[in-house]
Amino acid sequence: MMDPRIENLNVSAEQSIITPIELKELYPLSEKHIETVNKGQTTIKNILNGSDKRILAIVGPCSIHDIKSAKEYAQKLKVLADDLKEDLFIVMRIYFEKPRTTVGWKGLINDPYLDNSCKIQDGLKQARGLLVYIAELGLPAAGEALDIVTPQYIQDLFSWTAIGARTTESQSHRNMSSGLSSVVGFKNGTDGNIDIAINAMQAVASPHNFVSINPEGKVAVIRTLGNPNTHIILRGGKKPNFEAEHIAAIEKKLSDLQIVPRIMVDCSHANSSKKAQKQEIVLASLAGQIAGGNKSIMGFMVESNLMFGKQSIPDDQSELKYGVSVTDECLDFESTERILREFCRKIK
Ligand SMILES: O=C[C@H](O)[C@H](O)COP(=O)(O)O
Ligand SMILES: C=C(OP(=O)(O)O)C(=O)O
């Protein structure tokens, strides 16, 4: 007999979860938290428009997989951020959602226990709890908005947002970005395509109307005003794209479109062939370009953790090494501090 079902053939379960407003009630914001985000968002807008001459530094783990080590990292980074604040505005990279080339662990929100149990509600709670802790330290946070619903739960705690190389061309991500309050950086495509990021910046500056959820968790039409605070992030493609010749080519492309060139360089990913130590070479090149008079480079990103390297997620969680990335290779904290200090010395 023919199966009479015509929908949900590939759905195994559906589970209601906490609403955005309920999660926010569990982790309410104090004046201090609001001040951290407000200052973070405003300073980054000022760096983008050139009224704050410092360089924006997005620094932190490739992904957050362990709240304890993320807190320890944040404490260390806050000390460094205060020390280098004359030259750098340091924002901690807090990536809870990982885009995968095929399959793999999709980040703390999706699978907080790293065992494929995918307890997403717990992941949202852990994520918001960590963001509140970091805001309490007075350290601004930077994240990738990958899922287009989860921003309702946590986006109020981010001072800067990235759209990743795999989603820069996606209309849903552009719609969402047009309503975000923070500056949004668009990565070039994984193949090195720059145009998709420039198209994204132009699309996001306009108002959009789309279906999402509201704070009560109800399906809603969201109408945005458009977000004029965007920039490109060069992350390399088939080849790196951080050298002066690449920067000059992007500057020309943006200027021809009457867009003031403001460029962030991701020292990791295809700019360092995913070899963490190569980030130092990229950062040194950026420092040289800035010291040589470049005015368009407004920021950089470095992937860094407590310890160097990366590890696969073991079946037995007791074998997880503390402070080591479970996604891309990261620099250890001491090397990170050294290359950031060197960068500041060179650009003075
Ligand atoms: O930043 C992390 C990774 O580069 C990205 O999530 C893709 O990872 P994958 O190619 O290992 O899936
Ligand atoms: C996935 C990331 O980068 P990209 O989108 O450039 O691959 C990332 O920064 O974690």
345 — pLDDT class (breaks 50, 70, 90): very high
Give the pLDDT confidence score for residue 106 in this predicted structure. Answer: 98
Count structural domains, the chain. Answer: 1
**For the chain, what is the largest distance between any 2 Cα atoms, rounded to a whole number of angstroms?**
77
Return the axis-axis angle of helices 333-347 and 67-83, rounded to nearest 10°: 20
Phi/psi for 193 (5° steps) reads -65, 120
Q: Which residues line ligand 1 (CB under 6 A)?
A: 62, 98-101, 104, 269, 327-328
Return the axis-axis angle of helices 333-347 and 279-291, rounded to nearest 10°: 10
Q: What CATH code is carried by the domain that includes residue 217?
A: 3.20.20.70
12 in a domain, yes or no?
Answer: no
Tell me how far apart the alpha carbons of residues 41 and 141 are, in angstroms, rounded to a whole number.
Answer: 10
2 — pLDDT class (breaks 50, 70, 90): confident
283 in a domain, yes or no?
Answer: yes
Q: Is the CB of 310 under 6 A from ligand 2?
A: no
> Domain span at residue 320?
20-347
Q: What is the ipTM of this complex?
A: 0.97
Tell me how far apart the alpha carbons of residues 23 and 296 are, in angstroms, rounded to a whole number.
Answer: 39
76 in a domain, yes or no?
Answer: yes
Q: Is the CB of 270 under 6 A from ligand 2?
A: no
7 in a domain, yes or no?
Answer: no
Tell me how far apart the alpha carbons of residues 75 and 80 are, in angstroms, rounded to a whole number.
Answer: 9
**Does residue 272 contact residue 279 with C-beta atoms inside 8 Å?**
yes
**Does residue 305 contact residue 332 with C-beta atoms inside 8 Å?**
yes
**Element containing residue 266 per DSSP (H, E):** strand 263-266
Give the pLDDT confidence of 263-312 residue by residue, as tens digits.
999 999 999 999 999 999 999 999 999 999 999 999 999 999 999 999 99
3 — pLDDT class (breaks 50, 70, 90): confident
Q: Which ligand is nearest to the CA of 167?
A: 2
Q: Is the CB of 106 under 6 A from ligand 2?
A: no
62 in a domain, yes or no?
Answer: yes
13 in a domain, yes or no?
Answer: no
Q: What is the pTM of this model?
A: 0.97
Give the pLDDT confidence of 319-331 residue by residue, as tens digits.
999 999 999 999 9
124 in a domain, yes or no?
Answer: yes
Ligand 1 atom with least separation from CA of 102: 12
191 in a domain, yes or no?
Answer: yes
CA 46 – ligand 1 centroid, Å: 31
Give the pLDDT confidence of 23-40 residue by residue, as tens digits.
999 999 999 999 999 999
35-to-9, 65, 176, 336 alpha-carbon distances in Å: 48, 27, 24, 27
- Per DSSP bridges, beta strands 219-223 and 209-213 are antiparallel
Give the pLDDT confidence score for residue 122 in this predicted structure. Answer: 98
CA 223 – ligand 1 centroid, Å: 32
How many H-runs (helices) and E-runs (strands) does the chain carry?
10, 10
Give the pLDDT confidence of 131-163 residue by residue, as tens digits.
999 999 999 999 999 999 999 999 999 999 999
Tell me how far apart the alpha carbons of residues 328 and 320 are, in angstroms, rounded to a whole number.
Answer: 15
* pLDDT reading at 1 higher than 90: no
Q: Is the CB of 95 under 6 A from ligand 2?
A: yes
